[in-house]
Amino acid sequence: MNTNYLENPEQLEILYRKDKVHFQEIFSELSHSYPDSPLVSFWHSRLKFDQQPVISFSKSDVLQIFATIFVLGTYATFPFWSGKTEEEASVFFLKNIGYLAFSSLIIYFFRTRHHSEKVKWMIVAILAVLGIYINLLPAEATNPSDTLILAGIHLPLILWGITGFVFKTSNRFEFLRFNGDLLVAAGILFLSWMLMSGVTMGLFELIGFRLEQYYPRYVLIPGLTAIPILAAITVLRNTGFVNQVSPWVARIFSPLALVMLSLFLIFFLQSGKDPFTDRDFLLVFNLILIAVLALILFSLSAAEQRWLNQVLFALSLVTILVNLTALSAIVYRLADYGLTPNRLAILGANVLFLIHLLLVGNKLRLMLSGKASREQVLTSLGNYLPVYILWAGVVTILFPVLFGFK
């Protein structure tokens, strides 16, 4: 930061609004060099105040939290109090886990963002149709079909897309950034709730009361249903609480991911491992692709640093090679073993990942050469989301019919 800005309060405000994270990093060093400057003292107090995580909940928030615990908690425990077997309970959660995760968020954004009544009823109708459809899909509790499992896996992605729609933002990458902060807050809440539950059951066991049969089913699970809404309120009402954590984590793990993937490709070529017949191998590849896209997003949310941009570009290139390896394996399996719902679903996902990585990698290349901005890279990440949602809809709705519910 140019020290001449200390004589120009308006320019400091412009710099702060342009990149708050980077501004805070530099200004923290500047405050030690100019401790007697009134303007530095003012900004030091302002930044310190902005970082105070004061969690606030309105009456409407509290009502929704308790309603979520009661309604979704009761629905989540339905397999237990209705006498279903463990296999039947597994099928129930496979079909409904998306609704348990995203219902409270959708309602929250209905309540806090302006939507017309027409849009609200349209969303409610879509949710109802999807819920009825997934729960009417035939299922054998002991041996659920491949198409049912695929539908259960992809339905949460559709519901996530609906959540993004009701989130209502002009930039889709803002929704992606919100999801990163949401995961951080939800992770903290989840670990805290699990720790508290473990301590509670342990204390009661000391005085002769064993809660293992009832507490997890009727207290632990209903409590988990409130985590998404609690995390969302924490993130949106207190922007300084977690919005620096995701970029910080990404800046650490992006270089590590680049080294890991590079070493993996080198050792993989020497290992003689056959990816063409290993389903778990392909699954891990897909998880790697998702993780890399997330790292790129969260790294770009941090203060701009050229070395990090270079790491992200290299990471995108290595990941494209990983993706091509997985894609060749899937094509081989299709040619050698025939078409199945699983293989077609994985093939479609990998093709989408490859196209997305190529688009993002090209934008990163242009950014390094000064021909594209960081915002354009983020836009290329966000604008591709509807393609994933559309594919999830095809897998969820059409696959069971096309493959005869097998």
Mapping DSSP onto H, E and C, the string for 261-317 reads HHHHHHHHHHHCCCHHHCHHHHHHHHHHHHHHHHHHHHHHCCCCCHHHHHHHHHHHH
Ordered per-residue pLDDT tens for the chain, 406 residues: 545 556 667 766 777 766 665 566 556 555 555 656 667 767 666 666 555 455 567 888 899 999 999 999 999 999 988 888 888 889 999 999 999 999 999 999 998 888 889 999 999 999 999 999 999 988 877 788 889 999 999 999 999 999 999 998 777 888 888 888 888 889 889 999 999 999 888 888 888 888 888 888 889 999 999 999 999 988 887 766 655 666 677 777 888 888 888 887 787 777 666 665 666 666 777 777 888 888 887 777 665 677 888 888 898 888 888 888 878 877 877 877 788 888 888 889 889 988 998 999 999 899 888 888 878 888 888 888 899 999 999 999 999 988 887 7
Measured over the CA atoms of residue 391, residue 253, residue 275 and residue 355, the dihedral's sign is positive
- Cβ–Cβ < 8 Å for 363, 377: yes
Distance of CA 303 to the CA centre of its chain: 21
A 10 A CB-CB count for 214 gives 12
Structure-block tokens of residue 347: 């093939």
Residue-level pLDDT at 255: 86
Helix axes 341-368, 146-167, angle to 10 degrees: 40
**pTM of the shown model:** 0.80
Residue-level pLDDT at 56: 66
Cα–Cα separations (whole angstroms), residue 50 to 24, 35, 194, 214: 11, 20, 30, 43
Residue-level pLDDT at 124: 94
Helix axes 38-50, 20-33, angle to 10 degrees: 140
Residue-level pLDDT at 171: 76
Residue-level pLDDT at 35: 56
Kindly give, in sequence order, each residue whose CB lies less than 8 Å from that of residue 316, ignoring residues fewer than 6 positions away: 292, 296, 357, 360, 361, 364
Residue-level pLDDT at 5: 58
**Can you point out the beta strands (E) in 93-249?**
none
Residue-level pLDDT at 18: 65
Greatest pairwise CA separation for the chain in angstroms: 76
Amino acid at 108: Y
Kindly give, in sequence order, each residue whose CB lies less than 8 Å from that of residue 315, ignoring residues fewer than 6 positions away: 254, 257, 258, 261, 292, 295, 296
Residue with tokens 């809404």: 229
